[in-house]
Amino acid sequence: MSAHDRWAGTDGRLRRQLRQPAHPWAFAPGQGMIQPHDHVHMDRALMLAERGRGQTSPNPMVGAVVVSADGRLIGSGYHEHAGGPHAEIHALRMAPDARGATLYCTLEPCCHTGRTGPCVDRIEAAGIARVVAAVEDPNPLVAGAGFTHLRAHGIEVDVGLRRKVAMVQNRAFFTFVRTSRPFVILKAAMSSDGYIAQGPGVRTALSSAASLRHAQGVRAEIDAIGVGSGTVLVDDPLLTAREVYRHRPLARVVFDRRLRTPATARLFSTIAHGPVIIFTARETADACPGRVAALESVGASVEPCEDLPSAFRRLGERGITSLLLEGGAALHQAAWDADLVDYVQVYVAPRVIGQSGVPFLPDRSLSLVALADGRTTVCGADVLMEGYVHRVD
């Protein structure tokens, strides 16, 4: 095996990702030239978009900035929550006279009527002369038609400035719109010799307080947390976002083919935090109507389902754009084998468990150092290693 093959993982998956050709929307300037100040204004729009993090699902985070012909910032805004005004509208409302101005936006302006009207009409009516957008909207109702509309009305359009940053910012939205399933983060806590528990069914606390706090931060912005029934039986987790700000409901999903989840699980004491969805095999649901009824009586929604891909699609139909897969080992392996993992987050603890432990992804087709755009972060005594399996950009 060559050094490159070792670096890129053993199953070719990451290699395929990294060898993808440049995206056709890699920077495409319009009639004008991109100037240094364009980057500054787009960065401001990206920062504004960030204020919507965790609040806008299933819609994207979007920021917008209006700059007058003589270079003054005359409007800015961001998308605050799904169903509310789009970022462009907030920014234009702040700028009563935007004739001849440039609008910077982190996503292509929309040209359709959804819960709100088309932004392109408002942009045109405001007399905007130029639009600089980071990236095309993958929504099939838009998908380049917003740019076409603007150009057809004499507005100069530049696309692709900070494209990658904008796509990563909205990685859940891009994955959700393109694949009709959520962006999936596989999360695990692992010993330094590669084990996630001391033995099957043994509750093993590995993470430092700093790692636990970091993980709560992820829970604050995700749409759903997923676990296997084994994790419910062994850990009896609450699966809530704690000590972080979270306004929206958090969906909790149990993958439970055999319907082993007890109606007495602590999870059902937290229904006020968000729905609990239990995916089970159709045969199990048919054979055990009493168990289904017991789970439904404590607030669960029991959904018969063929396999993991169809369960993930069902979550997409519910508008769940991101899913944090917390374990256990069987669920991680199933998602990995079905090529449904987009991003991996592993908190590596300075502890050795030894060969009697439960290994993390035992087929060893995942090499943490081969993850794309990989990052390491110190979390107390632990090191968080994370990166992409499927890049969005």
Q: Which residues bind ligand AOF (CB under 6 A)?
A: 59-60, 62, 79, 86-88, 107, 110, 114-116, 137, 139, 142
Does residue 110 interact with Zn ion by CB under 5 A? Answer: yes
- Whichever of 30 and 117 has its CB closer to ligand AOF, that residue is 117
Using CB positions, name the residue nearest to ligand AOF.
114
Which of the listed partners (ligand AOF, Zn ion, none) does 175 bind, with a CB threshold of 5 to 8 Å by partner kind? none
Does residue 149 interact with Zn ion by CB under 5 A? Answer: no
Which residue among 91, 92, 105, 119 contacts Zn ion (CB under 5 A)?
A: 119
At residue 71, what is the residue type?
G
- Which one from 50, 88, 108, 306 is the annotated catalytic residue? 88
Its sign, for the CA torsion 342, 330, 214, 318, is: positive
- Whichever of 14 and 89 has its CB closer to Zn ion, that residue is 89
β-strands 195-197, 382-388: how paired? unpaired
Beta carbon of residue 86, minimum distance to ligand AOF (angstroms, whole number): 3
Which of the listed partners (ligand AOF, Zn ion, none) does 304 bind, with a CB threshold of 5 to 8 Å by partner kind? none
- Whichever of 86 and 187 has its CB closer to Zn ion, that residue is 86
Which of the listed partners (ligand AOF, Zn ion, none) does 142 bind, with a CB threshold of 5 to 8 Å by partner kind? ligand AOF
Which of the listed partners (ligand AOF, Zn ion, none) does 181 bind, with a CB threshold of 5 to 8 Å by partner kind? none
Which of the listed partners (Zn ion, ligand AOF, none) does 285 bind, with a CB threshold of 5 to 8 Å by partner kind? none
Which of the listed partners (Zn ion, ligand AOF, none) does 137 bind, with a CB threshold of 5 to 8 Å by partner kind? ligand AOF
Note if 124 is an active site residue.
Answer: no
Considering only residues 43 through 82, tell me which ones interact with Zn ion, judged by CB under 5 A: none
Beta carbon of residue 116, minimum distance to ligand AOF (angstroms, whole number): 4
* Binding-residue total with Zn ion (CB under 5 A): 3
Does residue 291 interact with Zn ion by CB under 5 A? Answer: no
Does residue 86 interact with Zn ion by CB under 5 A? Answer: yes
- Whichever of 61 and 389 has its CB closer to ligand AOF, that residue is 61
**Residue 195: other Cβ atoms inside 10 A:** 23
* Cα radius of gyration rounded to whole Å, the chain: 23
- Whichever of 110 and 278 has its CB closer to Zn ion, that residue is 110
Residue positions annotated with a catalytic role? 88
Interface ranges with Zn ion (CB under 5 A): 86, 110, 119
